[in-house]
Structure 1
Amino acid sequence: MMKANDYQKQALRTLNPSLSKSEVLINGVMGLCGESGEVIDLVKKHLAQGHELNREKLAKELGDVAWYLAETAYALDYDLESIFQMNLDKLAQRYPDGFEKEKSMNRNDETDYVK
């Protein structure tokens, strides 16, 4: 099984080496938005237009999302496993006993982020 940091290391082999860190950041964030749009478009066509859900194409688009996530994390000097752990820590704080609708509707996002 591949580890997240191993994926990030291998994926970054295809990063454009001529980009500055700030250019890597903007490319990563724009790529995340673009690829996420492709993911939702496939689901929209399935749910609203009667297309068969192409699970393999959707999975490949999620792979593109993963690539841009790896790039964006790199631009911020984070590895993916740290990003994933930070997210799990935030979710554990927000929902210590698992998801609760009430907590979801009345949460304070200020407590989610250290400034």
Structure 2
Amino acid sequence: MNFDDYQKAANRTLMGNEQVLTNCVLGLTGESGKVADLVRKYTFQSQQLDHDQLVKEMGDVLWYLSQISEWADIPFDEVASDNIKRLKKRYPAQHGGVNQVNI
């Protein structure tokens, strides 16, 4: 699935009124906080990093990002492509690394 397909599929679940952008931004911060909390507990409290829970929370973050992009009429593929272009410029000689894919 590409990002634009995801964005359109996710949009069918968007509920709200004229406050959609505010709801999505606040939801993004809440869900990002859940991801951060899982990592904090793993790092500082020696808890196992629950793969399934991390995937769920990251999916929630992705949903909110896609809907902010939808609200702003920005194709989600454009967001992803632009980010990769900027990363290539910022890190032109970056190779390998732990769990890293070549960009």
User: Which TM class, normalised by the smaller chain length?
Assistant: 0.7 to 0.9
TM-score by length of 2: 0.83
The DSSP-based 3-state class of the residue aligned with 1:34 is helix
> Does residue 1:69 correspond to 2:56, yes or no?
no
The DSSP-based 3-state class of the residue aligned with 1:15 is coil
Unaligned runs of 5+ in 2: 96-103
Distance, in Å, in 1 between the alignment partners of 2:64 and 2:27 is 6
Percent of counterpart pairs with the same letter? 43
Higher helix share: 1
CA RMSD, 1 decimal: 1.5
Unaligned runs of 5+ in 1: 100-115
Greater relative contact order (CA < 8 Å, ≥ 6 in sequence): 2
Q: Deviations over 1:16-72 (max 9, x none)?
A: 1x422xx22222211111101000101111111121111110111000001001111
> Does residue 1:93 correspond to 2:92, yes or no?
no
Q: Deviations over 1:47-100 (max 9, x none)?
A: 11121111110111000001001111011111110111111122223233338x
Distance, in Å, in 1 between the alignment partners of 2:21 and 2:63 is 13
Please identify the structure whose Cα radius of gyration is greater.
1
Residues 1-115 of structure 1 correspond to what in structure 2 (within 5 A)?
A: 2-16=1-15, 18-20=16-18, 23-98=19-94
TM-score by length of 1: 0.75
